[in-house]
């Protein structure tokens, strides 16, 4: 399975002592986009709990205007509140969706926890309808656990 082959690569990036945290986070985003053909935009948002906002961190893919997202708004904002994975098979069917590009057809967002607190999330957009499976969720949970060790 493609996901299992990526586990050691993600661990190697996380464990690299010559790169900064930002460089490691960007490298993780890059390897995900490069390795999984339907991961067309991969980014990280980090929470500011005081202001109840998410702030865009490292990402790969098309530029986005959505650099700050209020908690509760869009898929990412909903995950900041629910603390649950959110898989959107068809973004056109979502009422509370923030459109990034007409090419985005689906999205998956998985929270990142540090000491039980949702500090952010990984957000992946796809140009394909309904590509995300439970395997994607389990893999991205592994990725977010690796990311959490950087904080």
pTM: 0.95
What is residue 92's predicted lDDT score, i.e. its pLDDT? 85
CB < 8 Å & 24+ apart, contacts of 120-123: 120/44, 120/45, 120/46, 120/47, 120/54, 120/57, 121/44, 121/45, 121/54, 121/76, 121/79, 121/80, 122/42, 122/43, 122/44, 122/147, 123/41, 123/42, 123/43, 123/44, 123/45, 123/75, 123/76
Give the start-to-end residue ranges of the domains of the chain.
2-148
User: pLDDT of 56-72, one tens digit each?
Assistant: 999 999 999 999 999 99
Tell me the pLDDT of the chain averaged across its residues. Answer: 94
Q: What value does the mean pLDDT take over residues 15-33? A: 97
User: pLDDT of 80-94, one tens digit each?
Assistant: 999 999 999 998 887
User: pLDDT of 30-47, one tens digit each?
Assistant: 999 999 999 999 999 999
Residue range 2-148 in CATH 3.40.50.150 = no
């Amino acid at each position: 399975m493609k996901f299992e082959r990526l586990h050691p690569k993600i661990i190697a990036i996380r464990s690299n002592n010559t790169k900064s945290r930002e460089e490691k986070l960007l490298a993780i985003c890059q390897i995900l986009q490069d390795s999984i053909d339907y991961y067309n935009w991969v980014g990280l948002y980090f929470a500011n709990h005081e202001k109840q906002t998410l702030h865009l961190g490292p990402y790969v893919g098309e530029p986005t205007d959505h650099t700050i997202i209020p908690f509760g708004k869009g898929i990412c904002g909903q995950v900041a509140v629910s603390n649950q994975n959110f898989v959107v098979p068809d973004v056109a069917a979502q009422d509370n969706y923030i459109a990034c590009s007409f090419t985005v057809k689906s999205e998956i967002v998985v929270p990142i926890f540090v000491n039980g607190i949702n500090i952010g999330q990984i957000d992946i957009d796809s140009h394909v309808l309904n590509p995300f499976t439970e395997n994607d969720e389990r893999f991205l949970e592994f990725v977010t656990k690796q990311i959490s060790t950087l904080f």
